[in-house]
Amino acid sequence: MSAELDDPVYRTGVVDLLGALAYGELTAFERLAEDAALAPTLLDKAELGAMASAEFGHFTRLQERLSALGVDAYAAMEPFRATFDNFHAHTAPADWPEGLVKAHVGDGLAADFYREIAAYLDTGTRTLILETLADTGHSAFVVARVRRIISEQPAVGGRLALWGRRLVGEALSQAQVVVAERDGLSLLLAGGVDRPGMDLAAIGRMFARLTENHSGRMAALGLSA
């Protein structure tokens, strides 16, 4: 384990971060498995099932890391349960195309957020987070499917563009709530005597980058941000 984890303030922040990420991966698995029921073809169902399986594999790695830190992984996830569940309750897809956009845009935005924070962590924790968030190649499947849907049903594009805007608004709002409500995460971002941190200007730039990346993902789908 890294020497940084001997610092109780830093350790609390890392546990909070891993707990939030672990619950996010667990709910992503659950959501994708449910969305597979909306898939119009067996191939689509299998692709979404593979995405769900990958998310559960990520959850398992995070759970093992928390256990190695001597922490009950489920206790570490519990503080984030209401926030994540609230986000998913407000962004439940109405159909297959909306589910695809949420899988690509929503998860991509969350991954960007955690990658930003990972830059301020010890090497071991940063590597775990980056590996957990690595694109497993499924984004190409989603992009191709959404683009095909739009080409076959042009009217759907406007609705999906509005849906994407709603997703980013909800996601950024929930991310701010999580950081504000958890002292450990706030202190982790603020840094310490021996660690770099983010001031308010840096946090503002981070959210600007998140928004810019979201626009790029929407463009890849053939949608306006």
pLDDT, tens only, 182-216: 777 777 776 654 566 667 777 788 888 988 999 99
Q: Give the confidence band of 224 by pLDDT, cuts at 50, 70, 90.
A: confident
3-state SS of 197-224 is CCCHHHHHHHHHHHHHHHHHHHHHHCCC
Q: Residue 108: pLDDT above 80?
A: yes
Radius of gyration of the chain (CA): 18
Alpha-carbon span 171 to 106, nearest angstrom: 7
pLDDT tens across 49-64, in order? 888 898 899 999 999 9
Q: How confident is the model at residue 193, as a pLDDT?
A: 47
pLDDT tens across 115-124, in order? 888 888 888 8
Q: How confident is the model at residue 172, as a pLDDT?
A: 83
Retrieve residue 95's tokens: 């159909």
Give the chain's domains with CATH numbers.
Answer: 3-221 (1.20.1260.10)
Q: Find the mean pLDDT for residues 110-134.
A: 86
Q: Residue 38: pLDDT above 70?
A: yes
Neighbours of 127 (CB within 10 A): 12
Q: How confident is the model at residue 164, as a pLDDT?
A: 93
3-state SS class at 195: strand
Retrieve residue 107's tokens: 């998860």
Retrieve residue 217's tokens: 């993902």
Q: Any idea what DSSP says for residue 21?
A: H
- Better-scored residue on pLDDT, 183 or 108: 108
Q: How confident is the model at residue 197, as a pLDDT?
A: 67
pLDDT tens across 138-181, in order? 788 899 999 999 999 999 999 999 999 999 888 888 877 777 77
Q: How confident is the model at residue 27, as a pLDDT?
A: 92
Supply the mean pLDDT for the chain. 86
- Better-scored residue on pLDDT, 201 or 95: 95
Task: Give the long-range contacts of residues 64-69, CB within 8 A, separation 24 or more.
Answer: 65/18, 65/125, 65/128, 66/15, 66/18, 66/19, 66/22, 68/1, 69/1, 69/5, 69/11, 69/14, 69/15, 69/18
